[in-house]
Structure 1
Amino acid sequence: MPELPLDLVRTLLAVVDEGTFDAAAAALHVTPSAVSQRVKALEQRTGRVLLMRTKPARATESGEAVIRFARQLLQLERDTLTELGLPTAGEAARLAIAVNADSLSTWFIPAMTRVPNLRFDLHREDEGHTTALLREGLVMAAVTSTPDPVQGCSVRALGNMRYLPCANPAFAAQWLDGPPALVADAPVLVFDRRDQLQDHFVATVAPGREASQHRHYIPSSEGFVDAVAAGLGWGMVPEVQARPRITAGTLVDIGGPIDVPLYWQQWKLDSPPLAAAAQAIAAAAAIALKPHTRHHARIS
């Protein structure tokens, strides 16, 4: 059975994290030639190409498996040193987590405050694509809309994030005063080019159609809500952000809610910091999110 020596695995991780052989060499305090030799030795041991020699360097699919192993190994090393009361460079444990923008802007931050002894390294990504970061070994855990576990990960349901189709009152009077299907022709706000939530809503009121191609892309959770309130277009707004503005009269609800299920996926790793974060996030989600139901939207 081939072995994966720790020094070789750490070197591959350094190249991926730093982006180049030279930068990895500086971080490891060795020569670029030594870095190259270690990566080649690891590839020979595994019989696989682990690294694409691009700028920045990127792991291959096989390399991603080794990168996940490297990060898990380093996390276990830090946890063990902490348990033994030995120094860990004077740093609190660091957790890399992928989370979608709307969760980050609404309920996720309170969860982070429940575990103040951790350092969070958050990666913002659409909830339908956070699992890609898990597969690549870039994060230990993710808030995702995918219930199917990534290899080597466990999954727990968090709840449904509810969205309301909203518009500025004047915009609604101009564009939406009539049958619900009119929304398909109205200017629309979309978070980014992966965001299909508006199209999904339109399909529920105008079967076979999608939202207008008169689209504004607003890749900011707070900016998105502000743009809807300003009358730039209609859009799906998290209920927790929409309700106060609806009460104040700056937004109107133009249709029924859409629920997006959220799940927590994490490495199957016996790590106290990871377990503490998972418990805090599940507790915050139980307060902020709707219970899972059979009828929900899966947005990818």
Structure 2
Amino acid sequence: MEELPLEQVRTLLAAVDEGTFDAAAAALHVTPSAVSQRVKALEQRTGRVLLMRTKPVRPTESGEVVVRFARQLARLERDARAELGIADDRGPARLPIAVNADSLATWFLPALARVPQDPPICFELHREDETHTTALLREGKVMAAVTSSPDPVAGCTVRRLGLARYLPVADPGFAGRHLTGPLERDLREAPVIVFDRRDDLQDAFVRSLTGDGTGASRVRHHIPTSEGYCDAVVAGLGWGLVPEPQAVPLLRSGALTLLAPDRPFDVPLFWQQWKLDSPALAVAAAAIAEAAAEALLTPG
């Protein structure tokens, strides 16, 4: 395959970021026809369709590879300019990271506060379930992710952060109404709180109790924020798995009751990032790993 012309690669990235050829043309100060011609030329060079001409345009699987390459090039160019002392009118370094809501609500923001800000780094957080954050890495939308997957995305490194512990809890009144018999039976019938339709945590916990593949009840409330999720459990809408840092104070106050004292549910978390020699990414990764070592459990 011939080399990839940088002008064409950057044009493809602009089309993906802006959503349409017209918007990409405005961002690049060229005509929409020029954008279309560059994208077509890049597709001819690679021998692959790179963009789906929808509104907004979307990269194909091959296009995601080129988009990731384009973002890495942009990152390397910015870092090189900084090391050479060349002014960059694009502003501070931007670091897009995918992170799950529970980490964001507990330990992740204090971790970011440890990252040195000389030169300044602007964090762009993408909230996504830990089982799906790697998809954003594959698409080139983020440079790093907190994920439950130990399998590295192509072009990425992976390191273990620790275990996030969840506790099965409910409002005492709710437990008195719905959870009076064998727990493995009652949790299949009692209303349950889930984060969203992709949240499998509560189902996985019930399956670990029953061993028969049966998940939690179909009576479920979808609460798509970590704080709102915890509030819904306290309000008695259903039972749920709450991160230990959020659950412990509420257990001490009596607002929640622990359903299975000997059955916490641990989720392994990993840090995946681009294989890129980027100072901004390196200092952020170091601070996040340090904070995770303090906040998360070490696998036994």
* Shorter-chain TM band: over 0.9
- Structure 1 stretch displaced more, 204-213 or 235-244: 204-213
AA in 2 matched with 1:96? P
How far did residue 140 of structure 1 move?
0.6
How many angstroms does 1:183 deviate by?
1.7
Q: 1:22 to 1:267 in 2, by over 3 A?
A: same
> Within 5 Å, which residues of 2 pair with 1:1-300?
1-89=1-89, 91-115=91-115, 116=117, 117-181=120-184, 182-208=186-212, 209-255=214-260, 256-293=263-300
Q: Aligned with 2:17: secondary structure?
A: helix
Instruction: State the one-letter code of the partner of 1:113.
Output: A
Using the TM superposition, give the Cα deviation of residue 90 of structure 1 relative to its aligned residue in structure 2, in angstroms. 5.7
* Structure 2: distance between partners of 1:248 and 1:68: 48
Contact 1:163 1:259 in 2 (8 A): yes
How far apart, in 2, do the equivalents of 1:89 and 1:249 lie?
Answer: 54
- Give the stretch that moved more between structures: 242-251 or 207-216: 207-216
CA contact (8 A) 1:154 1:265 kept: yes
Q: How far did residue 206 of structure 1 move?
A: 2.4
CA–CA distance in 2 between the matches of 1:48 and 1:160? 41
TM-score by length of 2: 0.96
* Kept in 2: contact 1:180–1:206 (CA 8 A): no
For structure 1, the 5+ residue unaligned runs are: 294-300
Q: Does the CA-based 8 Å contact 1:163-1:239 persist in structure 2?
A: yes
- Runs of 4 or more off by more than 4 Å in structure 1? none
Give the aligned partner of residue 296 of structure 1: none
CA-CA distance at 1:211 after TM superposition: 0.4
In the TM superposition, residue 178 of structure 1 has moved relative to its aligned partner by 2.3
| Coordinate RMSD, CA, aligned | 0.9
Q: Which whole-Å CA distance do the structure 2 matches of 1:21 and 1:79 have between them? A: 28
Identity %: 68
Offset of residue 111 of structure 1: 1.1
Structure-2 separation of matches of 1:220 and 1:140: 23
Q: Which amino acid aligns with 1:233?
A: G
Contact 1:184 1:206 (C-alpha < 8 Å) held by counterparts:
no
Matched residue type, 1:249: G
CA displacement 1:220-277 (0-9 Å, x = unmatched) = 1000000000000000000000000000110111012100000000000000100011
Q: Residue 4 of structure 1: SS of its match in structure 2? A: coil
Distance of 2:209 and 2:90 partners within structure 1: 56
Structure 2 gaps, min length 5: none
Q: Distance in 2 between matches of 1:128 and 1:21?
A: 32
Change in 2 beyond 3 A, CA 1:52/1:90:
closer
Please tell me the residue identity of whatever aligns with 1:221: S
* Rounded Cα–Cα distance in structure 1 between residues aligned with 2:210 and 2:46: 54
Amino acid at match of 2:240: G
Contact persistence 1:156–1:264 (CA under 8 A): yes
Q: Which amino acid aligns with 2:266?
A: D
Q: TM-score, normalised by structure 1?
A: 0.96
For 2:59, the aligned partner's letter is A
Task: State the Cα deviation string for residues 166-187 of structure 1 (Å, max 9, x = none).
Answer: 1001101111122222122110
Query: Take 2:24 and 2:205, find their aligned partners in 1: how far apart are those partners?
Result: 47
